[in-house]
Structures are given as C-alpha cells and as structure tokens.
Amino acid sequence: MFSQEFIEKIKTAERLTVLTGAGVSAESGIATFRDPDGLWAQFNPQEMASVDGFMSNPDLVWSWYQYRRETVFKAKPNAGHFAMAEIQDYFDPLTLITQNVDQLHQRAGSENVLELHGNIIENHCLDCGESHDDEIDIQNKEVPVCNFCGGKIRPSVVWFGEMLPEDVLYQAGAASEDCDLFLTIGTSGEVYPAAGLPMIAQDYGAYVVEINPNETVYSNRADEKIMLPFSQAMPMIAEIVKKYRTKV
C-alpha cells in the first residue's frame, strides 16, 4: 500500500509538513466543497463567501454560517484527526496547515495548527475588526451588530477576494520550503495560495505524498499517491511512526 520509499521517509524524516482540506472532515459528517454532493454544488460561493455577497443579503449569509456551525459543533474528530495529533511529538517539527475552518484537528489534540482560511467558530466586526465571539447563539439567524461601531458582525473565515492572514501564510510557506516529507490530504488543490504549497515543497526537495481516494490536480505530480480515505491512511502512518520513531 505504501512504497518502501514512503515508509523510509516516515521513519527518518526530520521535518514533516501536512496540508489538509475538507476531505479530512468528510468522514466526520462535514460536507466538502467540490465533490458532487459538496457545498459549492448547492450554493453559490460568490453569494455565500464574499464580502459583496454578505452585504447583499447579510441575514441569509449569517444564517448559512449558523447552520454550518451547528453541523461543526455536532461533528466529532475522526480516526485520522486523532492519529494526526498522536504523531505531533515525533517530528521536529510537524507543521499542520489546514484550509478547514472547523477546528476538528484542534479538538483531536493537534496544537499550533496553521489555519489558512480562518475558522467558523470566531466572529468579528466587518467594519472595525473587533472580536465578537460571544455572538454565537446558533439559534440566532439574524446578523448581529457590533456594540462598538454598529457594523455587521461576520464569521472569521477568509472569503473569496480576501487576503489570507499574512503571518499564517508566511509560516505555511516556510514550513513547505523546509521539510523532508510533505503530505497533502483531502484537498482538491483548486484554491490558491494553499494549492501551491505542495509544489513549493517538491521544488525544495521534499518527498510529496497525496492522500485522497480521488484524482486531483496533484495526482500526477506528487511523488506518491495513496488512494485511501484519511481515516484509514492516517492511522497506518501513525502505526509506523510509533513503531520506529521516538518522541523529540
């Protein structure tokens, strides 16, 4: 299932960098974006995930995020998330970069997760930027208003057309340049700049492995392709790590 080269890398790599996408949460019951039953097959990203969309219909967009939060709060991390957290002390370092906004990696025990696209748990004012995390009453379907400036409160996810958090993107780029093994898991590779990270890692000499049951833009380019779901592949990797490595 895994090549001898991949197994050797799991045993010996000093620095491991991992990029995850919506596919790692699929087995926790959270919809992906671009699969046939994904969110973007049912909803228009320009309407639901852009500042213009939010300004055109704030209550609709807010209630959609409330619905998604409800799903996230009910979901539980899967075996892949737990296996990922289990191996974090065996690499120096393991850098976990995620495009996901659901914080399932953190709930499974992963620390210092680089959230490229923000998260759906927190909120801030569109106008003054003030944090408003207390407004998460998932029964409330109308967009709340900032008590400092009267602006509309929005979820702290990165929307289309917005910049990624600069420090997070910088750290993600640095960890991609400076690793021996890079895993890209559960992402279609359609959204930049995240999608460019596996290529950066490969250009800088890392062994790049894709874990995804389906073909993606990386499939021909990665050094190795594991066509397994996250919840199966990750515990297999963790077994090898725990058998052959010691904690650092």
Catalytic positions, written as ranges:
117
User: Which of the ranges 87-95, 107-115, 141-149, 186-194 carries the binding residues for ligand OAD, by CB under 6 A?
Assistant: 186-194
For the CA atoms of 105, 109, 112, 118, the dihedral, rounded to the nearest 10 degrees, stands at 30
Structure tokens at 35: 């699969």
Task: State the Cα–Cα distance between residues 130 and 111, nearest whole angstrom.
Answer: 25
Task: State the Cα–Cα distance between residues 126 and 131, nearest whole angstrom.
Answer: 10
Task: State the Cα–Cα distance between residues 98 and 120, nearest whole angstrom.
Answer: 13
Helix (H) or strand (E) run with residue 207 in it: strand 207-211
Amino acid identity of residue 185, one-letter, is: I
Of positions 230, 237, 238, 241, contacts ligand OAD by CB under 6 A: 230
For ligand OAD, the binding residues in 121-180 under the rule CB under 6 A are 157-158
User: Which of the ranges 28-36, 56-64, 66-74, 167-175 carries the binding residues for ligand OAD, by CB under 6 A?
Assistant: 28-36
For ligand OAD, the binding residues in 113-132 under the rule CB under 6 A are 117
CB of 238 to ligand OAD, least distance (A): 15
Of positions 28, 95, 156, 212, contacts ligand OAD by CB under 6 A: 212
Task: State the Cα–Cα distance between residues 14 and 16, nearest whole angstrom.
Answer: 7
- Smaller CB separation from ligand OAD, 179 or 233: 233
> Does 49 sit near ligand OAD (CB under 6 A)?
yes
Task: State the Cα–Cα distance between residues 4 and 186, nearest whole angstrom.
Answer: 23
Of positions 214, 219, 227, 244, contacts ligand OAD by CB under 6 A: 214
Which residues would be at the binding site for ligand OAD (CB under 6 A)? 21-23, 26-27, 32-35, 38, 45, 49, 99, 117, 157-158, 185-188, 190-191, 212-214, 216, 229-230
